[in-house]
Amino acid sequence: MEAHYRRATALDPNDGWIKAQYSWLLAAMGHQREALQEVSEAYTMAPANPWVVFFVAFDYSIAGLDTEALKYASLAAQLNVPSAPLAPIRAWAAVRAGQYAEYAKYLKDYSGAGEEDLARASELTQLVYSAVTDPAKRQAALAARARLYPRGVTFDTAPAATFCAESASAYAVLGAIDMAYDLQNQCVDQTPAGLSKSNAGITPWGPEMRAFRQDKRFQPLLTRIGAMPYFEKYGPPDDCDLKDGTLTCR
């Protein structure tokens, strides 16, 4: 994908839509500074394209810059971008603002959500985020993982796998890094052949995920979802070093 986007932008460097799509890949792979540069140029070229505006919001959200992300998300909504792709932007802005009760209401807007997958993720994330502000609820939040995500459940759609990763992210925000990795690896294990393992991959580049990135289990996880060859070819994520095949994030 990276190679094709580079070729496309070389063929037409003034196409804002292509640059905006390329910025999404950069942001999703942790090249946030480059992503913001690309998407800023895209917006200058095509400010009336609703999906260009969406990608501006998305890239700011991945970078943890939620004031700008929400501003452009609102503009994208005015330009008739549906609520589903905007839901994660608003949800993570709520998490970073400590408005944990607001997070769950955005889950229902995720595209293609099955009722069972939605109910599982909604209950678990509410329990976990409640424990962030009330330590007395921590043990209940940790215990919920086995009940709501038992071994053997299959995440056979992209939204189901994504919900699983969202739940793992919640544990990382709680500071329960062992639980976050345990569930995240289960998300990958139980995503069946034929559905990309990246659907079950956590998006770990926001400031709230720093401890998760710094853990020694981060590189093996990236290897499992197929990301390491990308970093070896195109460079490590922002604030990470790649030396002699070892990725270290600060």
pLDDT tens by residue, 67-107: 999 999 999 999 999 988 898 899 999 999 999 888 877 87
- Confidence at residue 200, expressed as pLDDT on a 0 to 100 scale: 58
Q: Is the CA virtual torsion 7, 225, 121, 182 positive or negative?
A: negative
- Using the predicted structure, report yes or no on whether residue 46 has a pLDDT greater than 90: yes
List pLDDT tens digits, range 17-28: 999 999 999 999
- Confidence at residue 233, expressed as pLDDT on a 0 to 100 scale: 96
Taking each helix axis from N to C terminus, what angle separates 138-148 and 158-174, rounded to the nearest 10 degrees? 160
Beta bridge partners, 241, equal: 248
Nearest alpha carbon to residue 226 among 200, 206, 246, 244:
200
Q: Domains in the chain, start-ordered, CATH in brackets?
A: 1-81 (1.25.40.10), 99-250 (no CATH)
Planar angle of CA 87, 88, 93, nearest 5 degrees: 100
User: For a pLDDT cut of 90, what percent of the chain falls above it?
Assistant: 74
Q: How confident is the model at residue 3 (pLDDT cuts 50, 70, 90)?
A: very high
Phi, psi of 242 (to 5 degrees): -125, 110
Q: How confident is the model at residue 111 (pLDDT cuts 50, 70, 90)?
A: low
* pTM exceeds 0.85, yes or no: yes
User: Mean pLDDT throughout 155-175?
Assistant: 87
- Confidence at residue 113, expressed as pLDDT on a 0 to 100 scale: 59
- Using the predicted structure, report yes or no on whether residue 114 has a pLDDT greater than 80: no
Planar angle of CA 99, 104, 106, nearest 5 degrees: 95
Structure-token pair, residue 145: 């993982």
List pLDDT tens digits, range 185-237: 998 888 776 656 565 566 799 999 999 999 999 999 999 888 999 999 999 99
- Using the predicted structure, report yes or no on whether residue 156 has a pLDDT greater than 90: no
Please give the mean pLDDT across all residues of the chain. 91
Q: In the chain, how long is the greatest CA-to-CA distance?
A: 58
